[in-house]
């Protein structure tokens, strides 16, 4: 399974920005937790849900940061 994930990782880097591909990579643990809960294999604790929220917020922030227009000094504008 690891070789397959590496194959898809490099394929994603070729097709989309590295920051967006990294956002997907960072969401793997959260998606694994959700999938195991949906299949009825694992109970989800409150701490895990908190971690899921933080992970998804970080992935969302990273994708927004990648889409933001850059200023003339090379910094990202916040508005």
**No. of helices (H) and no. of strands (E), the chain:** 4, 0
The reported pLDDT for the residue numbered 55 is: 78
pTM score over 0.75: no
Q: Per-residue pLDDT for 40 more than 50?
A: yes
> What are the sequence ranges of the domains in the chain?
2-67
Interaxial angle between packed helices 28-38 and 46-67, expressed in degrees from 0 to 180 and rounded to the nearest 10: 140
Distance CA(45)–CA(52), nearest Å, equals 11
The reported pLDDT for the residue numbered 46 is: 92
At 72, is the pLDDT very low, low, confident or very high (cuts 50, 70, 90)?
Answer: very low
């Amino acid at each position: 399974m690891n070789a397959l994930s590496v194959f898809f990782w490099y394929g994603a880097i070729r097709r989309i920005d590295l920051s967006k591909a990294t956002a997907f990579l960072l969401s793997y643990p959260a998606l694994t937790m959700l999938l195991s809960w949906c299949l009825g294999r694992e109970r989800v604790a409150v701490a895990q849900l908190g971690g899921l929220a933080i992970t998804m917020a970080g992935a969302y922030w990273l994708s927004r940061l990648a889409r933001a227009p850059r200023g003339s000094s090379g910094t990202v504008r916040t508005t």
